[in-house]
Structure 1
Amino acid sequence: MYPIKIKRLPGYNHAKIPQRMSEGASGFDIFAALNEPIRLKPGERRLIPTGFAIEMPEGIEAQIRPRSGLALKYGISILNTPGTIDSDYRGEIGVIVINLGQEDFVIHPGDRIAQLVFMQVPKITIQEVEELTDSKRNTGGFGHTGR
């Protein structure tokens, strides 16, 4: 188990802490910490505050991911998805929401707008070499295996 500390930020007394909505959920739902509703027109994007910051142990990252129901029903998604939150970041978690739908979409205070998923990050070292070993794919690029 990894301890994740969450701090409600000043001025956000009404902000909700991320919650798992079912026992088997991989992610924690994130709620909009708004004072009033905001309207997103088709194609519009906004940074939505959450009212909290987190502290994670080194070797853990948090990812902000879209909610599938909002994507399917309304065309609402998250830009820069998955958004990466590094273990040494201590600022407010914000969610960049975009309306890819054809209708205006209203986000109300307390609405669930995204998911927060925690992942383990392996320690990696980069080693520069003159040659790479061959593979079956080699340099086959986008779509090289067909449709």
Structure 2
Amino acid sequence: MAVNINIKKLNEKAIIPTLGSEYAAGSDLYACIDEPITIAPGETVLIKTGLAMEIPEGYAGLIYARSGLATKRGLAPANKVGVVDSDYRGEVMVALHNHSNVNATVEVGERIAQLVVTPFLSVAFSEVDVLSDTVRGAGGFGSSGTK
């Protein structure tokens, strides 16, 4: 099932997101920059896409790392997963962080991240005095074993 996403180019050089393969879950986002940008080790830089989009109500755009860029060059979103809400109409940008120990350069028009559009559940939080019991209880952070 395809969900239509309206896209507005904020820069004539912007590239509309593309799928890397027929069944890809994420659409590639491209750097819309005037010249290459070098990101030093440990540094984070906001990279523009030149695009704004209209994500339908009940959906969110999740911005994930591109596996090749992250594993081969150490560049991945600084916030691990960016969230584009359905009511956001500003430019989509990616905060790329250099996790490596060498400079990494982002080229003009390079694929910098991937956008996965997914439905989500709206929730209402109810404060209570007691939560239901489970076998696990309050165990966390390794409490279920290391296997």
TM-score normalised over the length of structure 2? 0.95
Q: 2-side partners of 1:18 and 1:50: how far apart? A: 9
Any unmatched runs of 5+ in structure 2?
A: none
Q: Show the 5 A alignment for 1:1-147.
A: 1-9=2-10, 12-147=11-146
Is the deviation greater in 123-132 or in 99-108?
Answer: 123-132
Deviation at 1:2, TM superposition (A): 2.4
Any unmatched runs of 5+ in structure 1?
A: none
Deviation at 1:15, TM superposition (A): 1.0
Q: 2-side partners of 1:61 and 1:47: how far apart? A: 20
Whichever residue aligns with residue 3 of structure 1, its letter is: N
Give CA-to-partner distance per residue, 1:91-116, whole Å, 9 cap, x none: 00000001111211110110000000
TM-align CA RMSD: 1.0
Whichever residue aligns with residue 8 of structure 1, its letter is: K
Which portions of structure 1, spanning 4 or more consecutive aligned residues, are displaced by more than 4 angstroms?
Answer: none
Q: 2-side partners of 1:43 and 1:125: how far apart? A: 38
Is the deviation greater in 21-30 or in 137-146?
Answer: 137-146
Whichever residue aligns with residue 26 of structure 1, its letter is: A
Q: 2-side partners of 1:121 and 1:95: how far apart? A: 21
Deviation at 1:41, TM superposition (A): 1.0
Secondary structure of residue in 2 paired with 1:69: helix
Deviation at 1:52, TM superposition (A): 0.3
Residue correspondences, number: 145
TM-score normalised over the length of structure 1? 0.95
Secondary structure of residue in 1 paired with 2:53: strand
Deviation at 1:37, TM superposition (A): 0.4
Deviation at 1:26, TM superposition (A): 0.1
